[in-house]
Structure 1
Amino acid sequence: MNKIKIVTDSSAELTPEEIEEFNITVLPLSVMIDDVVYIDGENLSKVEFMEKMPLAKALPKSSQPPIGKFIETYDALGEDGSEIISIHITESLSGTVNAARQAAQLSKTNVTVLDSLFTDRGLSFQVIEAAKMAQKGASKEEILARIEHVKNNTKLYICVVTLENLVKGGRIGRVMGAISSLLNVKVMFELVGGNLEVLVRGRGMKPINQWITSLIETLKSKTNIKEIGFSHAAAFEYTNGMMQQFKEVFPNVPMPVRQTGPVIATHTGKGAFAIMYYTD
């Protein structure tokens, strides 16, 4: 049986400890700010990006790793006869998975490329589960089945407190954006099948906070929550306080809080936060 190795991209928001412990290969995404290209996590930190973004002349543009970098990585990992499962940010937010598919066809290594349909910790759920199974010597078929199970039992909710970047990125109309800004509208989305669907829209944070309270009540009926992850775009105080609300109800469930990377923050804008969980 060939050994299986796991590859993902930097939008997964894995910790350095997780990457090392589970032997995961992470290819960095990049972002261009005023014609200068930065590599996620290499020459641009999350904090630095949040400082640069509001000062940029235009909305930063994110980009997937070059196909050549994928091929180089796949070939190197497969030199010992290993096969690869490469799991990536949803196609609706990035061209990364398409670049990976093209590279897989050109690589000397046997590579299976998957669209996670998620990002951030929602993506990491699949990556970590796959990596754990690979370390235990599971077959590719067993790992793929587990990934599909995790994907089907994952939820990702994201709250955008300003629609400015969504307007600039063409994801909502300018008229809607202007009205929402004038009325201080906050929006809670769910990422479903790679697409953002509106769950709650209202003036100020009160409707959002009420929805979060109802989510906690809903989760009380579930006894098999594996992780509840939180991420934010320069909104640590609010997100950490929200996490404490969940922790009081689910003290034994892992609840990492991470600042999201440049690719996601570009879409959401400053102040956004996300709640992600999966059940088994």
Structure 2
Amino acid sequence: MAKIKVVTDSSVQLTSEEIKKYDITVVPLTITIDGHNYVDGEDISRAEFVKKMNEAKNLPKTSQPALGKFEEIFKELTADGSEVIGIFLARSLSGTIEAARQASQLIGKEQQIKIIDSQLTDRAEGFQVLAATKDAQMGKSMAEIIAHVEKIRDNQVLEMMVVNLDNIIKGGRLGPLAGKIATLLNIRIALTMIKGELEISKKGRGKKFSKNFDRRVLKDIREHKHEIKEVGISYVNTPEECEELAEKIKEINPDINVLVQQTSPIIATHSGNGAYAILYYLDK
């Protein structure tokens, strides 16, 4: 049976230990800040990115990996006859998955390389990647791995709180007038991601709105505490608050593994300072 290798992109939330242990290939996105280009995770860290983002004159831009980069990686991974499963951030957020698909076709290896839209990003994407790598190490078939990944994807939850709309306004996601009013009123928005589409689930004002958001998510975790094994909390510049949230989850069920880490540049760019997301899936 051919070996199965797993590839993902740098928007994924994984620890360096997980990447090394499971031999995961991470293809980096490119970031441009005031005309300077950086390779995500190679010559700029997530903490460094947030600092530069806050000091930048213009909103940073993130770019999908070059087609040639995918071709190079896919050729290398399949050279020994291995199959490859690529799990990438949602199509609605980036053209990364299409670049990967085109590369697999250009090198004539589309039968060897299976591409999956995670329909999410960050730790939610990470859950799928980890499941795939663990299955591969156990010797499961490509069909079994894909079925497992899709089951996780169909039972995942992503809840995000955006507390500062500056980056959303700069990115043109709100009209100038609507953006000005939202800022004046201290409007915050709660986002969710359903079948690959980012949607505003609620709008509110101030810290009270954020606290209600936390209570609602914690209530859902409490109601499903025996079906949830892993939770990711990803943030933009708010580690202390998110560690406190992690403690509340551990109080609900100490067996739930919670990973708290700074999010990737692609998410930080669009969500802005103070944003955080809670990600988990129901193990049904």
- With the length of structure 2 as denominator, give the TM-score of the two structures: 0.96
Q: CA deviation at 1:170?
A: 2.1
Q: Which residue of 2 aligns with 1:102?
A: 102
Q: Which residue of 1 aligns with 2:121?
A: 119
Q: Which residue of 1 aligns with 2:139?
A: 137
Q: Which residue of 1 aligns with 2:239?
A: 236
For residues 208-265 of structure 1, give each alpha carbon's deviation from its aligned partner in whole angstroms, at most 9, with x where no partner exists: 2123212222222222112111000111111111111111112110000010121110
Q: Does 1:60 align with 2:46?
A: no
CA distance in 2, matches of 1:271, 1:218: 23
Give the partner amino acid of 1:134: A
| Pairing 1:1-280 to 2, within 5 Å after superposition | 1-109=1-109, 110-222=112-224, 223-280=226-283
Alpha carbons 1:229, 1:275 under 8 Å: kept: yes
| Secondary structure of the structure 1 residue equivalent to 2:5 | strand
Alpha carbons 1:4, 1:134 under 8 Å: kept: yes
CA distance in 1, matches of 2:265, 2:219: 32
Alpha carbons 1:231, 1:274 under 8 Å: kept: yes
CA distance in 2, matches of 1:145, 1:158: 27
Give the partner amino acid of 1:56: A
Q: CA deviation at 1:57?
A: 2.0
| Secondary structure of the structure 2 residue equivalent to 1:229 | strand
| Secondary structure of the structure 2 residue equivalent to 1:31 | strand
Alpha carbons 1:200, 1:207 under 8 Å: kept: no
CA distance in 2, matches of 1:99, 1:164: 30
For residues 96-126 of structure 1, give each alpha carbon's deviation from its aligned partner in whole angstroms, at most 9, with x where no partner exists: 1111111110125421111111000010010
CA distance in 2, matches of 1:177, 1:209: 23
Q: CA deviation at 1:41?
A: 1.1
Structure 2: runs of 5 or more not aligned: none
Alpha carbons 2:162, 2:272 under 8 Å: kept: yes
For residues 38-94 of structure 1, give each alpha carbon's deviation from its aligned partner in whole angstroms, at most 9, with x where no partner exists: 011111111111111122221111011111110110110111100101000111111
| Secondary structure of the structure 1 residue equivalent to 2:273 | coil
- With the length of structure 1 as denominator, give the TM-score of the two structures: 0.97
Alpha carbons 1:75, 1:108 under 8 Å: kept: no
Seq. identity, % = 45
| Secondary structure of the structure 2 residue equivalent to 1:208 | helix
CA distance in 2, matches of 1:36, 1:23: 31
Alpha carbons 2:229, 2:255 under 8 Å: kept: no
Alpha carbons 1:91, 1:117 under 8 Å: kept: yes
CA distance in 2, matches of 1:176, 1:131: 45
Alpha carbons 1:159, 1:189 under 8 Å: kept: yes
For residues 139-194 of structure 1, give each alpha carbon's deviation from its aligned partner in whole angstroms, at most 9, with x where no partner exists: 00000000100000100011111111112212222222211110111111101122
| Secondary structure of the structure 2 residue equivalent to 1:181 | helix
CA distance in 1, matches of 2:92, 2:108: 28
Q: CA RMSD in A?
A: 1.1
| Secondary structure of the structure 2 residue equivalent to 1:105 | helix
